[in-house]
Amino acid sequence: MNLIFLGAPGAGKGTNAELIAKKYSLASISTGAILREAIKNETEMGKKAKAIIDDGKLVPDDTIIAIIKERLSNSDCEKGFILDGVPRTLVQARMIDELGIRIDKVINFEVSEDVVLERLSGRRVCADCGSTYHIKNVKSKTEGVCDRCGGRLIIRKDDQPETIKERMSVYEDMTKPLVDYYLKTGKLISINADKEIEKTSLEISVALER
Ligand code: AP5
């Protein structure tokens, strides 16, 4: 089963990708996480992407497609995968089709702007392993410390209020048109992602097994 998770920043794509990937033994592929890792390791790609991500803009399409092509060649994708946050432009969506990458279903996370703001302003991530928490909704056992690896929890640089605004605007202009694109293919499943994590992930599972 090959899936795309589509939705606004903070809609809960990453949180649910982790849960659904575990449940169905899929590889969870987040271009955002891959880029953040490249920035941390100061690779050439990371150096080029840093300012773009910090400003809330989109990394060039050819960089994203190169990441996806390489990542999908890993053996852990054989049983299926979730593309979390990619494609994010019509060009990326068409390139994925042209490469012959089969997509079975596209989960569209519908979420209100107030919820997005509350989720992103309260998000904390582990500086070492990238695990995601929320100061109210998904607390770590010890404040400021990652449950998984003991790393320090930090605020993502692109979760500053001004950058959130820019990311939302980029989503409206560049990514939202993909809802129509995938609606026409008959693969789109829209879910109400304003709900609690467990309820959202259950709704996705039910939709996938329908
Ligand atoms: P990326 O990391 O993909 O960011 P994003 O799409 O903006 O999505 P987020 O990670 O902000 O949110 P999410 O929907 O995964 O929510 P999460 O589960 O964390 O990309 C970052 C940047 O990289 C982009 O801006 C761009 O520059 C670049 N990039 C990446 N892919 C690209 C591409 N394809 N093309 C071009 N550029 C690209 O949840 C958010 C918070 O809410 C968390 O704290 C979580 O604990 C909490 N939460 C989640 N669900 C719930 C719930 N149901 N109830 C309560 N709290 C919840």
Q: What are residue 62's phi and psi, to 5 degrees?
A: -65, -30
CA angle 123/45/90 to nearest 5° reads 75
- By annotation, the residues acting in catalysis are 13, 88, 123, 156, 167
Tens-place pLDDT, residues 129-178: 999 999 999 999 999 999 999 999 999 999 999 999 999 999 999 999 99
Give the pLDDT score at 6: 98
**Angle formed at CA 3 by CA 113 and CA 117, multiple of 5 degrees:** 15
- CA of 27 from ligand 1 middle (Å) equals 17
Distance 8 CA to ligand 1 centre (A): 8
Reported as a pLDDT band with limits 50, 70 and 90, residue 85 is very high
Side-chain-side CA neighbours of residue 153 (13 Å): 20
The mean of the pLDDT values for the chain is 96
Amino acid identity for residue 151 in this structure: G
- Select from 16, 52, 59, 165 the residue to mutate for testing ligand 1; criterion: most ligand atoms less than 8 Å from CB: 59
Report whether 184 contacts 94 (CB < 8 A): no
Nearest to 132 by CA among 111, 113, 112, 156: 156
pTM beyond 0.95: the answer is: yes
Instruction: Tell me what percent of the residues of the chain surpass a pLDDT of 90.
Output: 100
- Mean pLDDT of the region 88-104: 97
Mean pLDDT along residues 90-117: 97
Q: What residues have CB less than 8 Å from 120, skipping those under 6 apart? A: 9, 10, 159, 164
**Would you place residue 198 in the very low, low, confident or very high pLDDT band (cuts 50, 70, 90)?**
very high
**Non-local CB neighbours of 128 within 8 Å, separated by 6+ positions:** 146, 149, 151, 152
Task: Tell me, using a 6 A CB cutoff, whether residue 63 lines ligand 1.
Answer: no
8-27, pLDDT tens digit by residue?
Answer: 999 999 999 999 999 999 99
